[in-house]
Chain A
Amino acid sequence: MIGGSISFLYPLKNYIYLPIIVLTSWVSFSQDPPSFVFKKNNIKCIDSAFDESEFLVFNGEITLQEAKSSAPIIGQLYRDGEIHYFEPIVPFAYEKKYSLAYKDSIVYFKIETPKDYQFLSVNAIYPRATELPANILKFHVQFSRPINLANVYDHIYFISSRGIIVDRAILPLENVLISADGTLLTLWIEPGRQKRGLSPNEELGQVFSPGESYTLVVSNRLKDQNGINMQNPFSHQFRVMKPDREKPKIASWEITAPLANTTSDLVINTGKALDFMSATQKVTVYDSQENLVYGQWDLTNGDQQLIFKPNKKWVKGTFSLLFDERLDDLAGNNLLQVFDNEISTKSEQANYEEFKLSFVVK
């Protein structure tokens, strides 16, 4: 009996039966034939005469002859009682073909994609606003599961309303900016083009033109961590407005204080769209004793409304909001300076300033 939980045998072409028959009949007169169970993380082998020197696993379907000159998959062989295991250095990919060469026989196998597999999709794009400044600096793409980072920039691009791919729009980084859980991808819009006075800007101009509409496309060629493609491409349309070269000014922000003994949201209307990553990580709430108030931040309403939901109920008193000076808007303008700051202006030399607001919970 070969196989078990994995149907490596039946879906494959007829020719693979031959080596399996050879394999099973070869040992039938002397002892039980070896049996294998193929799983994503290992191959289980039951063979009373197991010979690890003859156990090699290969990428793709290859012949025994080809196996002699091919590099085998790196892995670890170990045993648990009478059962021998091969654990590949990375788990076997779904739907990919492999070969097991064992004692002058070869077995082909693949691991089928589970029926309930949750395919990769895009959950959100930040900014969520559909009208963006021409000098926008960052996009963040929230995926449903960890993505394959190799060649990621080949699968994400912008298309103009005329259907032309915008050239050199995204700054390609060798080490992709992805969150620790592998799902939130940060895309820098080519800063050399977005910032005035730099050579790429002078030569090629800004990436986006005011008045135009564009679509951010995530191709379905993008794979997840398991090597499985997205089922459908994703697109997000937005319209480009004039460039924004104004600093966010917290003094004009409107705070709606929550009520005591509730876990109501603290709402801050900023009057201009902020960068999601920046806005949700660069603001802190302190109580009157300067203890940090824990909770979750979100950015809504065209990325202009900061929402804070506390973990515990609010108590009466005066609270303070501390803003990191590098809290920035969609164009990379922060509380200290605009992204296109002129080198000679005073703000370049700005001293530390505390950016603080307060509110009262009644």
Chain B
Amino acid sequence: MKKLSTRFLLMIFCFCLSTVYAGDSLKGNFTTGNPQISSINSMAFGPEGILFIGDSKSAQIVAVDLSGQTKMDHSKLRIDRIDQLLADMIGSATDELQITDMVVDPSSNNIYVSVNHSSGKSLLFKVIDNTLKQVPLTAVSFSKISLDDPIAMGAKDRRDRDLRKWAVADIGYSEGKVMVSGLSNKEFASTFRVINFPFENKQAHGSLEIYHAAHGKYETHAPIKAFLATNVGNEHHLVAGYTCTPLVLFPMEKIELGRHNKGRTVAELGSGNSPVDMIEVGSGEKRFLLIANTNRPLMRMKFADIEAYKQSMTNPVTIKGATEGVAYVNMPFVNVQQLDNLEDGYVMIQREANGNLALKKGSDWWIN
């Protein structure tokens, strides 16, 4: 019976993963109006200029159509003191605002920056001619889905839920699925949600409880801090960076809803460090995984090396500050706070050595 139910769950998930949306458009069920976004915690672009916004405060994912935005030229991209510029535009102090994410629309190469202000207001800005312009989100074409746990909404759990909080850590889109990682204030658990897109009235999302099987005999429920869905060895994988820094691979087709899914740890990125953003650049032998970190420089890892690393790390690193597993190169960019693809290269927000917080392109030299 157990095997049967496992197989059934697997079938459902595989079906979900392989389903190609047959509608006329991804925006078929979009409506125009105010999506009531309370906070912008994480963002990701899907196809057709659709921006996915993870809104922790309202526990929702909002898909906003930004395809109508004018395409900008970023050949001379650079904004210095972007935190001060934002503070000036908001009428605030730099320590009262937080840049929560920066994303690039791959269909237009437009760059967007999200900011949460201490007043509780969240704002979206677009980079235009090396300055910023606010993109109002009160009258847009959108669709959205609640992140409330469907189980918790049942009769068994009709308690006062005001204190519950589920904070979005990262969001991504791949092959008709919106993926969301996060952490709650209830328990330390690595809940990872997979949601069909276009969003459906009948919610087809499920939670995956993921842990990596490294670290000797103790399991880890650490939340996924940043992730990337991509091909590794011709197989679709979730490349997950955890808060206590293992880099873990999960073959997508083996992930099962409602189960503990064990991944294969391929690298340790250094304790006291946490991944911030992960992107994929280049192709062939020069296809790289770039990882921005809280306490390490921007890392460059060859996908060829990840594919060649067949084992799984099972022993903790005991030498202070040491790293293990797939080799990587530290790029000369420290304190990279945001990172995304831009055309064939990459764009970042970096706190430079002189204190300047700059939005700028990364040098192509490092990835060619």
CB neighbours (8 Å) of A181 from chain B are: 162
Q: Nearest B residue to A292 by beta-carbon distance?
A: B158
From A98, A140, A184, B91 is in contact (CB under 8 Å) with A98
**Could you say which residues of chain A place their CB within 8 Å of the CB of B57?**
180
B116 x A177 contact (CB < 8 A): no
A73 touches B90 (CB 8 A): yes
Q: Which one of B7-15, B23-31, B94-102, B349-357 is at the interface? A: B94-102
Q: A322 vs B155: C-alpha distance in the bound complex, in angstroms?
A: 12
A73 to B118, CA, bound (A): 16
Evaluate contact between B217 and A344: CB separation under 8 angstroms: yes
Instruction: With A148-B118, A195-B218 as known contacts, state yes or no: A174 contacts B268, CB within 8 Å.
Output: no
Docked pose: A298 CA to B216 CA in angstroms: 38
CA distance A93 to B95 in the complex (A): 13
- CB contact between B271 and one of A150, A177, A192, A348 (< 8 Å): that residue: A192
B235-283 CB contacts (< 8 Å) to partner A:
243-246, 260, 268, 271-272, 274, 276
Q: Which of B100, B117, B120, B244 contacts A191 (CB 8 A)?
A: B244
7 A–B contacts from the bound complex (CB under 8 Å): A74-B91, A174-B100, A179-B165, A202-B316, A227-B96, A281-B159, A326-B189
Q: Is the CB of A261 closer than 8 A to any CB of chain B?
A: no
Residue from A74, A175, A328 in contact with B100 in the complex, judged by beta carbons closer than 8 Å = A175
Residues A175 and B42 in contact in the complex (CB < 8 Å), given A71-B85, A225-B118, A281-B186? yes
CB pair B271–A204 under 8 Å, yes or no, is: yes
Residues of A with C-beta under 8 A to B37? none
Which A residues touch B319, using CB under 8 A?
A: 203
Query: Which positions in B face A, CB cutoff 8 Å?
Result: 41-42, 56-57, 85, 87-93, 95-98, 100, 116-121, 123, 131-132, 134, 155-165, 167-169, 182-189, 213, 215-220, 222, 243-246, 260, 268, 271-272, 274, 276, 294, 316-321
Cα distance A57–B91 when bound, in Å? 9
Given known pairs A204-B272, A322-B156, A342-B217, the reply for A173 and B222 (CB within 8 Å) is no
Q: A128 interface residue, CB < 8 Å from B?
A: no
Which residues of chain A from 244 to 299 have a CB within 8 Å of any chain B CB? 277-278, 280-282, 284, 292, 296
Bound Cα distance A280, B294 (Å): 34
A interface, CB within 8 angstroms of B: 57-60, 70-74, 88-93, 96, 98, 137-138, 140, 146-151, 168, 171-182, 184, 186, 188, 191-192, 195-204, 223-227, 277-278, 280-282, 284, 292, 296, 322, 324, 326, 328, 332, 334, 339-344, 348
Q: How far is the CA of A255 from the CA of B182 in the complex (A)?
A: 36
A341 CA to B219 CA, complexed, in Å: 7
Residue with the greatest number of chain A CB neighbours at <10 A, chosen from B56, B87, B155, B244: B244
Pairwise interchain contact A277-B90, C-beta atoms closer than 8 A: no
- Ordered nearest first, which 10 A-B pairs have the shortest CB separation? A192-B244, A148-B118, A197-B218, A186-B185, A73-B91, A200-B271, A175-B167, A150-B98, A59-B88, A343-B219
Q: Please give the distance in Å from B113's CB to the nearest CB on chain A.
A: 14
Q: In the complex, how many angstroms separate the beta carbon of A279 from the nearest chain B beta carbon?
A: 11
Residues of chain A with a CB closer than 8 A to B96's CB? 93, 148, 150, 223, 227
What chain B residues lie within 8 Å of A149 (beta carbons)? 98, 116, 118
Cβ A175 vs Cβ B56 within 8 A: yes
* B41 contacts across to A, CB distance below 8 A: 174-175
Picked from A176, A225, A284, A343, the residue with its CB within 8 Å of the CB of B217 is A343
Most chain A CB within a 10 A radius of its CB, from B100, B159, B161, B183: B159
A203 partner residues in chain B, CB cutoff 8 A? 271, 317-321
Q: What A residues does B98 contact at CB under 8 A? A: 149-151
CB <8 Å contact, B272 and A93:
no
Select one of B56, B116, B216 contacting A197, CB under 8 A: B216
In the complex, A224→B85 CA distance in Å? 22
Partner of A177, one of B185, B260, B320: B185
Interface centre among B158, B160, B163, B213 (most CB of A within 10 A): B163
Q: Nearest Cβ in chain A — how far from B225, in angstroms?
A: 8
